[in-house]
């Protein structure tokens, strides 16, 4: 290849480092096809960080004609719940991905147990009677090597007998553990005889009371990958120190060689992505539930009106990095806007109403206007909007003494009512306190769009006919936390100290009637304001809309 052409060609392909690895593996024949897995622990609802992992795992398999398993990493019986298992499936399906197999680490408990016995027989695992404290202490520190357990050199027979006893429930929790016999002086602390099994008398959501010993993460994950013949096991950066152990088990057991690769986890400004902390927010009722629209959970953003398409666009834009990244939540909001701008239906809703009376309007007359649901498709579907002689406009669209560049309504000034006539403000009516309560205006019948000659004015404002206005509840959301980087909280502070007390503001809106008939199933645009998604709290009497994202923002992605 021409050297000068090379960078451009590479750039055009724009592969991320995982794609590079996969393409190399396919080319050299190291793997025949790509099999990935998404391995959530069912101890909480999925969040936006998981969306990144989902897009990566499913996306890579799709791109290279492979498959992705959904694997529940369910080795901790105490924190796990069937509620989470179901919610995770719902979220992945909502994202638009289909898993090849639904797997559970707990389905492999028999095989894992057999492998533990195999290690004992190979002289590579032993039962340790030390207490948790003794084991921790014996591990040493990063600077000093550990000391070997006094139980380290038990015979194979004794270890087998004791381990079977552990399984049979002969011992109390904490009395014994099974450890791998690796190297107590290894510079990698995880290689200093890691614990493989601990005793836990807890019912498991799938295996019930069959087991009272449970395998540790490190003794589970790689072997599950191997059983499922996962070729590329992708996880977050903090697992890179686990990789030698992952490889060690695969090697000494002589099983299918899955490989682990690490990428940087996603962090977002003004929010948190730890299931433990999100659970605490739910339990302490700082939010209404896992699907509170302020939550960074997938069910939360779904209820808020974010679309799977916008999340995929976001994951695409942020790419895959090997260094930890703090992403600007505004980029995510920009992605949501991009998607909704193209697809959402438009309606007019007034949120801070100011009454306008058209003094020259024929009493009792209702004129219906055919207005496109999406201005990008003027010939597409439309809705009917009624105009009468009494309207609401936004208070902010009128100023008695406006600054120079104010193009909306002012005393004596003109403005176009969106889709209809130009009106002129003739009189400002005030209450006893001097507040503006009504504008008396005239409309110019010659300015009907599509009829006669087009006269233009600088400002166009939205409006609703008061007689037709439908009152709706509007829930306006702000960031859940006030601090931009919630990963760096000072020692003397708690993350709860940064909760935004104004993250939810409930208001009222006056909507054109067609809004209540919208059947698009996605967020709609309230013209000139933002995107809003109908909430499940809506009743026949009162519709509730969640603000998805504001319409405009100065933010521009790089």
Q: Active-site residues: which are they? A: 41, 265, 275
Residue range at the interface with Mg ion (CB under 5 A); choices 35-43, 324-332, 394-402, 456-464? 35-43
Nearest approach, Cβ of residue 324 and ligand ATP (Å): 10
Tokens describing residue 77: 């019986």
By DSSP bridging, strand 177-180 and strand 195-199 are: antiparallel
Residue range at the interface with ligand ATP (CB under 6 A); choices 36-44, 113-121, 197-205, 307-315? 36-44
State which residue, 39 or 66, has the beta carbon closest to Mg ion: 39
State which residue, 320 or 385, has the beta carbon closest to ligand ATP: 320
Tell me the β-bridge partners of 427: 440
Binding residue for Mg ion, selected from 25, 41, 117, 183, defined by CB under 5 A:
41
Tokens describing residue 390: 């009494």
Nearest approach, Cβ of residue 217 and Mg ion (Å): 8
535 touches Mg ion (CB under 5 A): no
Return the closest-CA partner of residue 73 out of 281, 224, 240: 224
Residue range at the interface with Mg ion (CB under 5 A); choices 9-17, 18-26, 39-47, 288-296? 39-47
37 touches ligand ATP (CB under 6 A): no
Binding residue for ligand ATP, selected from 266, 350, 385, 524, defined by CB under 6 A:
266
236 touches Mg ion (CB under 5 A): no
Q: Which does 40 bind (CB under 5 to 8 A by kind): ligand ATP, Mg ion, none?
A: ligand ATP
Nearest approach, Cβ of residue 55 and Mg ion (Å): 18
**Residues 184-243 within binding reach of ligand ATP (CB under 6 A):** 235-236
State which residue, 50 or 547, has the beta carbon closest to ligand ATP: 50
Q: Which does 274 bind (CB under 5 to 8 A by kind): Mg ion, ligand ATP, none?
A: ligand ATP
Tell me the β-bridge partners of 245: none
What distance in Å separates the CA atoms of residue 348 and residue 546, rounded to the nearest whole number? 15
State which residue, 40 or 146, has the beta carbon closest to ligand ATP: 40
**Residues 271-300 within binding reach of ligand ATP (CB under 6 A):** 273-275
- For tokens 């302020």, the residue is 294
State which residue, 41 or 247, has the beta carbon closest to Mg ion: 41
State which residue, 42 or 59, has the beta carbon closest to Mg ion: 42
Which position's Cβ is nearest Mg ion?
41
Nearest approach, Cβ of residue 276 and Mg ion (Å): 9
What distance in Å separates the CA atoms of residue 106 and residue 214, rounded to the nearest whole number? 9
Which position's Cβ is nearest ligand ATP?
49
Tell me the β-bridge partners of 499: 481
76 touches ligand ATP (CB under 6 A): no
Tell me the HSE value of 327 on the side-chain side, using a 13 A CA sphere.
27
Residue range at the interface with ligand ATP (CB under 6 A); choices 125-133, 270-278, 421-429, 526-534? 270-278
Nearest approach, Cβ of residue 434 and ligand ATP (Å): 53
Tokens describing residue 182: 């690796």
Residue range at the interface with Mg ion (CB under 5 A); choices 36-44, 77-85, 254-262, 477-485? 36-44
Measure Cα distances from 354 to 149, 435, 473, 543 in Å: 79, 11, 18, 22
Tell me the β-bridge partners of 235: 262
71 touches ligand ATP (CB under 6 A): no
Coil/strand/helix, residue 61: helix
Tokens describing residue 83: 């509620």
Which one-letter DSSP state was computed for residue 517?
G
What distance in Å separates the CA atoms of residue 38 and residue 91, rounded to the nearest whole number? 12
Return the closest-CA partner of residue 174 out of 130, 110, 231: 130
DSSP notation for 339-375: HHHHH--EE-EESSEEEEEETTSPTT--EEEEEESST
Q: How many residues does the chain have?
A: 558
Q: Which does 266 bind (CB under 5 to 8 A by kind): Mg ion, ligand ATP, none?
A: ligand ATP
State which residue, 265 or 426, has the beta carbon closest to ligand ATP: 265
Residue range at the interface with ligand ATP (CB under 6 A); choices 46-54, 284-292, 296-304, 494-502? 46-54
Tokens describing residue 552: 């405009």
Do 548 and 305 touch, CB atoms closer than 8 A? yes
Binding residue for ligand ATP, selected from 18, 36, 53, 347, defined by CB under 6 A:
53
Return the closest-CA partner of residue 334 out of 480, 485, 181, 552: 552
Do 477 and 304 touch, CB atoms closer than 8 A? yes
What distance in Å separates the CA atoms of residue 133 and residue 222, rounded to the nearest whole number? 27
Angle (CA) 499-502-505 rounded to 5° is 140
Nearest approach, Cβ of residue 38 and ligand ATP (Å): 6
- Give the binding site for Mg ion (CB under 5 A): 41
- Give the binding site for ligand ATP (CB under 6 A): 39-41, 49-50, 52-53, 73, 235-236, 265-266, 273-275
């Amino acid at each position: 290849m021409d050297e000068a052409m090379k960078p451009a060609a590479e750039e055009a392909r724009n592969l991320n480092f995982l794609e590079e690895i996969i393409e190399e593996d396919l080319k050299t024949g190291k793997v025949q096809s790509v099999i990935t897995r998404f391995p959530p622990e069912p101890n909480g609802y999925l969040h936006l960080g998981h969306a990144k992992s989902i897009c990566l795992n499913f996306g890579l398999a799709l791109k290279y004609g492979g498959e992705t398993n959904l694997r529940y990493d369910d080795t901790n019986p105490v924190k796990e719940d069937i509620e989470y298992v179901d919610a995770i499936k719902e979220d992945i399906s909502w994202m638009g991905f289909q898993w090849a197999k639904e797997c559970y680490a707990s389905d492999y408990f028999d095989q894992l147990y057999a492998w533990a016995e195999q290690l004992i027989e190979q002289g590579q695992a032993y039962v340790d009677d030390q207490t948790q404290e003794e084991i921790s202490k014996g591990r040493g520190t990063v600077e000093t090597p550990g000391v070997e357990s006094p139980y380290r050199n038990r015979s194979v027979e004794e270890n087998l007998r004791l381990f079977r006893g552990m399984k049979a429930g002969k011992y109390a929790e904490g009395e014994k553990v099974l450890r791998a016999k690796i190297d107590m002086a290894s510079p990698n602390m995880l290689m200093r005889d890691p614990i493989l099994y601990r005793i836990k008398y807890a019912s498991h959501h799938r295996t019930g009371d069959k087991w009272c010993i449970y395998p540790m993460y490190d003794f589970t994950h790689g072997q599950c990958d191997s059983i499922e013949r996962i070729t590329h096991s992708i996880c977050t950066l903090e697992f890179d120190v686990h990789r030698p152990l992952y490889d060690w088990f695969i090697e000494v057991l002589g099983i299918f060689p899955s490989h682990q690769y690490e990428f940087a986890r996603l962090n977002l400004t003004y929010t948190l992505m730890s299931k433990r902390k999100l659970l605490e927010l739910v339990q302490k009722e700082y939010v209404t539930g896992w699907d509170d629209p302020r939550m960074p959970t997938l069910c939360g953003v779904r209820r808020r009106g974010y679309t799977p398409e916008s999340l995929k666009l976001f994951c695409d834009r942020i790419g895959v990095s090997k260094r930890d990244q703090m992403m600007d939540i505004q980029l995510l909001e920009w992605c949501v806007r991009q998607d909704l701008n193209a697809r959402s239906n438009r309606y007019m809703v007034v949120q801070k109403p100011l009454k306008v009376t058209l003094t020259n309007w024929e009493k009792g007359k209702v004129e219906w206007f055919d207005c496109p649901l999406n201005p990008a498709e003027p010939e597409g579907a439309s809705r009917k909007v009624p105009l009468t002689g009494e309207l609401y406009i936004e208070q902010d669209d009128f100023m008695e003494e406006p600054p120079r560049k104010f193009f909306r309504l002012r005393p004596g000034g003109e403005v176009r009512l969106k889709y209809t006539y130009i009106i002129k403000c003739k009189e400002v009516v005030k209450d006893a306190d001097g507040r503006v309560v009504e504008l008396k205006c005239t409309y110019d019948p010659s300015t009907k769009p599509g009829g006669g000659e087009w006269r233009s004015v600088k400002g166009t404002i939205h409006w609703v006919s008061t007689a037709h206005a439908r009152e709706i509840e509007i829930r306006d959301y702000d960031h859940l936390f006030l601090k931009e980087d919630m990963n760096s909280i000072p020692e003397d502070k708690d993350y709860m100290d940064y909760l935004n007390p104004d993250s939810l503001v409930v208001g009222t809106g006056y909507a054109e009637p067609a809004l209540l008939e919208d059947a698009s199933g996605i967020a709609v645009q309230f013209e000139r304001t933002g995107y809003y998604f109908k909430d499940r709290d809506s009743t026949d009497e009162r519709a509730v809309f969640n603000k998805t994202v504001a319409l405009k923002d100065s933010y521009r992605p790089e």
